[in-house]
Chains A and B, each alone.
Chain A
Amino acid sequence: EIVLTQSPGTLSLSPGERATLSCRASQSVSSSYLAWYQQKPGQAPRLLIYGASSRATGIPDRFSGSGSGTDFTLTISRLEPEDFAVYCCQQYGSSPATFGQGTRLEIK
């Protein structure tokens, strides 16, 4: 199965700053079938990005995704207070679908 490794484990930034989160796959992700989710404590994950770079419905344009093959990036251009959460990536191009362990984005 494809193992997704996210870095950094924790990212400490201030509102207004730019956040760059990484997701690296142990094998190439087929068809760039890579998604990003945001999860807040006690809540279900929220789909942000699918197909590596397509924003899901209702997601602000400060969220963007890029990458292909084995290296993918989620960028939040200007952090808002509500953006501090855990972010995880998922590949769904090869079975079984797998998730990364998550990056915690915390307020500095």
Chain B
Amino acid sequence: QLQLQESGPGLVKPSETLSLTCTVSGGAISSSTYHWGWIRQPPGKGLEWIGSIYYSGSTYYNPSLKSRVTMSVDTSKKQFSLKLTSVTAADTAVYYCARVYCCDSSGPFDYWGQGTLVTVSS
């Protein structure tokens, strides 16, 4: 059974960089079939696609966040990562990593991590 697990600091100061890693177990990250994505959900609000990455390193970002987002993949560790720079309180959210099941680089997402709450506060 494929499992994804997010890890990283739960508290980030304003203007600093948010860094999260997603570790994949129970399956291959380097499969040519799948993309891997990050999605976030501010408290009490809806979901927002942040971006996706292919095992080769090809990336696809939401234009609204593109100037601040960098995603990378380490197939040897079965991990992919997210960096979001210059964070503000508006970036406070539960951050999910997920696998793209088919069809496109940004959905649908069939396997999800449990999510990690990142709070931006001084």
Q: Cβ of B106: which chain A residues have Cβ within 8 Å of it?
A: 92, 95-97
Determine if B122 is an interface residue (Cβ-Cβ < 8 Å): no
- Residue A79 interfacial (CB < 8 Å): no
Contacts of B64 in A (CB 8 A): 96
| B103 adjacent to chain A (CB < 8 Å) | yes
Q: Taking the nearest CB of chain B, how far is it from the CB of A36, in angstroms?
A: 9
Specify the chain A residue showing the minimal Cβ separation from B52: A97
A47 part of interface (Cβ distance < 8 Å): yes
Query: Shortest distance in angstroms between A65's beta carbon and chain B's nearest beta carbon?
Result: 11
Interface size on B, residues (CB 8 A): 24
Stretch at the interface among A11-19, A20-28, A66-74, A99-107: A99-107
Chain A: minimal CB distance from B62 (Å): 4
B49: chain A residues within 8 A (beta carbon):
90, 96-99
List, in ascending order, chain B residues with CB within 8 A of A45's CB: 47, 96, 109, 112
- Asked whether any CB of chain A lies closer than 8 Å to the CB of B26, the reply is no
| A interface residues, Cβ below 8 angstroms from B | 1, 31, 33, 35, 37, 43-47, 50-51, 56-57, 88, 90-93, 95-102
* CB within 8 Å for A44 and B115 given contacts A90-B108, A95-B106, A96-B106: yes
Interfacial residues, chain B to chain A (CB-CB below 8 A) = 45-49, 60, 62-64, 96, 98, 101-104, 106-110, 112-115
Give CA–CA (A91, B109) in the complex, Å: 11
Measured CB to CB, the closest approach of chain A to B110, in angstroms, equals: 5
With A44-B96, A88-B46 as known contacts, state yes or no: A97 contacts B107, CB within 8 Å: yes
Q: How far is the CA of A1 from the CA of B106 in the complex (A)?
A: 14
Chain A residue contacts of B60, Cβ below 8 A: 95
- Residue among A31, A44, A50 with most chain B CB within 10 A: A44
Closest 9 pairs (CB-CB, A-B): A92-B107, A97-B106, A44-B112, A35-B108, A50-B108, A99-B47, A97-B49, A96-B62, A101-B46
CA distance A45 to B37 in the complex (A): 14
